[in-house]
Amino acid sequence: MAGAVAHAWSGANARNYENSAATREPWWVKWTIIAISLAFFSFFLLLPLVAVFTEAFRKGIDAYFAALSDPDAVSSIKLTLIAAGIAVPLNLVFGVAAAWLIAKFQFRGKQFLISLIDLPFSVSPVVAGLIYVLIFGAQGWFGPWLSDHDIKILFAVPGIVLATVFVTFPFVARELIPLMEAQGREEEEAAVVLGASGFQTFWHVTLPNIKWGLLYGVILCNARAMGEFGAVSVVSGKIRGETNTMPLHVEILYNEYRFSAAFAVASLLALLALVTLAVKTYVEWRAAQSFKEE
């Protein structure tokens, strides 16, 4: 979630609480709370994750790889990579620019700007898809002009990229803003006073400080970009082998009752989620290490 790296080093060790009579609970209270939380966690979070992999391999490993090498599956994987490959760099550049602006300068309306950047978080993915239909669709603002010039945005790759950019819009910015705010601007100011150019300052001073947060922001943005379903399903038109992303391919297979194949493709996306969480854990650990060194 937003600001994970910035907050990673704020934690005290649980033992500090358990060693003082004033801040600990009786052992039975402690273990009841742990048992309830773990039961809830396992039932609601762990079970679905295990189910994805169990269902994917239900018909054996051959069926699993057959499902993944199906031409429609391969084309959906390609399209997903293309869409994320365009959307993530766009939001990366925006995230860095917005975080630089918000963390390094004081100006009026800053809080309002932060709220606007957060806006896509609270818009339903279906609405996110709909807004591009209203603009580029056949009855939309630019629809007639686009069809006169034979440019396809909706039900084609550009529409999918636009919808993906919208839903993953705030991720990099939200990860970087708290991190860059916490680091202040003295180091950059010193660099500029010593004669560094703006780009040199960013590259040699700011970037080394934010690289771990930046990495996590990009990885999370990428996971969401590859996994987006609602917004993309509105703008894609779901043309098989052409405008189907991986999540849409999962839906089609599932609706055709080809469950094992659906879960096989889904398991790739679940793996991506697990890698994302592993990177996050590593990044938090690195942030904690560098905090200890200081």
Residues between 82 and 121 that touch other proteins (CB under 8 A): 94, 97-98, 100-101, 104-105, 107, 111, 113, 115-121
**Least separation in angstroms between CB 60 and other proteins:** 17
Which of 162, 210, 214, 283 touches other proteins (CB under 8 A)? 162
Q: Give the helix ranges, DSSP H, for the chain.
A: 4-7, 14-18, 27-41, 47-56, 60-69, 71-104, 110-122, 125-136, 143-148, 157-167, 171-183, 186-193, 198-201, 207-227, 230-236, 246-255, 259-293
Contacts for 64 with CB less than 8 Å, ≥ 6 apart: 56, 57, 260, 264, 267
Contact call for residue 194 and other proteins (CB under 8 A): no
d(CA 178, CA 210): 10
- Please identify, using beta-carbon distances, which residue of 74 and 189 lies nearer to other proteins: 189
Cβ atoms of residues 205 and 133 within 8 Å: no
Interacting residues with other proteins between 224 and 283 (CB under 8 A):
224, 226-230, 233-234, 246-248, 250-251, 254, 259, 262-263, 266, 269-270, 272-274, 276-278, 280-281
Shortest separation between residue 252's beta carbon and other proteins, angstroms: 11
Task: Give the type of residue at 58.
Answer: R
Q: Which two tokens stand for residue 23?
A: 């801040």
Q: Is 44 in the site for other proteins (CB under 8 A)?
A: yes
* Residues counted in the chain: 294
The whole-angstrom separation of Cα 219 and Cα 191 is: 29
By CB under 8 A, residue 221 contacts other proteins = no
Q: Give the CA distances from residue 212 to residues 1, 51, 101, 120, in Å, rounded to whole numbers and listed in that order.
A: 14, 32, 19, 24
Number of chain residues interacting with other proteins (CB under 8 A): 115
- Show the binding pattern over residues 171-190: x = contacts other proteins (CB under 8 A), - = does not: -------x--x---x--xx-
By CB under 8 A, the residues from 50 to 79 that bind other proteins are 51-52, 55
Closest to other proteins by CB, 200 vs 290, is 200
- Considering only 44-52, 64-72, 150-158, 236-244, which stretch makes contact with other proteins by CB under 8 A? 44-52
Cβ atoms 120, 221 nearer than 8 A: no
- Kindly indicate which of the ranges 64-72, 158-166, 236-244, 286-294 contains the residues binding other proteins, using the contact rule CB under 8 A: 158-166
Specify the stretch interacting with other proteins by CB under 8 A; choose among 26-34, 71-79, 144-152, 286-294.
Answer: 26-34
What residues numbered 125-144 form the site for other proteins, per CB under 8 A?
125-127, 130-135, 137, 139-141
Report the candidate in 98, 106, 113 with the shortest Cα–Cα distance to residue 179. Answer: 98
145 binds other proteins (CB under 8 A): no
